[in-house]
Structure 1
C-alpha cells in the first residue's frame, strides 16, 4: 500500500498521529453470514512521530484471536502549505518491514507465528533493543564494525568515550579530537578491553 495523506479535518478530531492510527486499526465489520470481523489495538507507540508500532488483536465474532504487529511509516507536518498535515504508509510484520525498533511492551503481546518475515522482523527488533540497552562508561574504548568518514575528512572506527552528563563525546585515540555519531546506541560496535591505570596511594 502507498502513502495516504490528509488534511487536519480528516483526522477525526484526534490530536496525534498515534491516536488517529489507533482508531483506524480498531474496527468491526459485519459479514454476509451475520458474523463480524475486525481488529483491536491493544498497545501502540509512535516515537518522535516517525514510525508507529502497534499490537493488534484479530477479532472474529467479537472473540479475540491472534495478536499481530502493525507498522506505519509516519509523516507529520502541521505547517504543510497545502494543508496535508499527516501521511502514513501501513504494513504488517508479515511484510518484513525495514523499521525494526518496536518497543518490548508491544513485542511481548504478540502471539506465536510461523511466518518467516514476521519472525525475522521480531528478531531484528529484539536485537535493536539489546543494542540500546548497552552501557557506556567514561573512558571506554569502542570499535565500530565499519569505518565512518566525518565532515572534516577524518576516517575512524575506534574512539574513546567521554561522558559529559547525558552527553557522549567520542574522541579519536590519536588526535584527541571529539566527534558525535548519530544513533550511536543502535550501531554495531564492541567495547575494546583497555588496561586502566589506577593511582597509587601511600598510607
Structure 2
C-alpha cells in the first residue's frame, strides 16, 4: 500500500508489533524494553500536540491547494493544522475517517481573487475522482481540470490523501468517461488509457473461451464463469480482473 511504503521512509514497522517506531532506525525492533521509552515519548508528544491544537482557534492559513482560507460562512475547515502529518507527498490527518477526507476535499473554497469548486466527484475504491473548476475573479475567466486523489489510512494516524491531476498522467484509469467530456484535454495519452480501461471492463467473454492474461505469470485461462469472472489454468481456478484480459486465443 502507498501509505506503508511512505511510512517506512521515516521509521520502521515490525510485523509482530502493533506499534510504529517513529524515530530513525536501521533495523526493525520488536516489543521489548528498548521499545517502551520510544513508544512513551511518542504518545506524550501526540498528547502535547492535541492540547496545543485545542488551545488555538481552528483555522488553516493555507490549504494544500494553495488557497488562503478567509474567515466566513463559506469556508468550513475540517481539521486544524497541527493535527496533520506530511509523508512523502501524502497528507494524513489524525482521527480523520475516509468520509472526512472526501468531504474536506470536495468542499468549496474561496478568497478575494478566486473560487475553487468541485462540480462532480466519485469514489472508485480508494481513488477519488473530481472535476474542479477554478474561477479567477479579477480576470473573469474559469479553468477546469480532472483531479485524482489517492486515499489511504496510515497506522496510528488516520486517513489521508495524495493529490494529482490529469496533466501529471496518474497511473490510475478508473476515471468516469463523462468527466473527459467536461474538461479540456490535458493529457491525450492518459485519456486513451482511461478509455482502454473501460473498454476492457465492459468486454464480454463467453464460458469456454481461452483468453490470454496480461501482466501475470499465468499466460492464459479458460473462462469457467462470467459472474464472477473466473478462469481455469493448470487445474486451478482463478478470479480474473477484467482489466487483465488479453486476446482470445
TM-score (norm 2): 0.57
Superposition CA RMSD, Å:
2.6
1: distance between equivalents of 2:153 and 2:174?
19
Q: Is 1:131 equivalent to 2:207 in the alignment?
A: no
Secondary structure of 2:205's counterpart equals coil
| Greater helix proportion | 2
1:62-119 per-residue CA deviation (whole Å, 9 max, x = no partner) reads 9662321011111136xx4x3x211111111111211222112322321x23x4xx22
Alignment of 1:1-203 (within 5 A): 2-8=89-95, 15-23=99-107, 26-30=108-112, 36-48=113-125, 50-61=126-137, 65-76=142-153, 80=155, 82=156, 84-110=157-183, 112-113=184-185, 115=186, 118-145=187-214, 148-149=216-217, 156-163=218-225, 166-172=227-233, 175=234, 177-182=235-240, 184-192=241-249
Displacement of 1:185 in angstroms is 0.7
Secondary structure of 2:111's counterpart equals strand
Q: Which residue of 2 aligns with 1:197?
A: none
Secondary structure of 2:231's counterpart equals strand
Q: Could you say if the C-alpha distance between residues 179 and 53 of structure 1 is closer, same or farther in structure 2, counting changes exceeding 3 Å?
A: same
Gaps of 5+ in 1: 31-35, 150-155, 193-203
Secondary structure of 1:130's counterpart equals helix
Q: Which residue of 2 aligns with 1:200?
A: none
Gaps of 5+ in 2: 1-87
Secondary structure of 2:182's counterpart equals coil
Displacement of 1:145 in angstroms is 4.3
Q: Could you say if the C-alpha distance between residues 72 and 136 of structure 1 is closer, same or farther in structure 2, counting changes exceeding 3 Å?
A: same
1:151-187 per-residue CA deviation (whole Å, 9 max, x = no partner) reads xxxxx412210117x2232112xx5x133145x2112
Displacement of 1:16 in angstroms is 4.4
Deviation >3 Å, runs of 4+: 14-17
2: distance between equivalents of 1:169 and 1:93?
33
1: distance between equivalents of 2:135 and 2:160?
26
Number of residue pairs aligned between Structure 1 and Structure 2: 161
Displacement of 1:131 in angstroms is 0.9
Secondary structure of 2:198's counterpart equals helix
TM-score (norm 1): 0.68
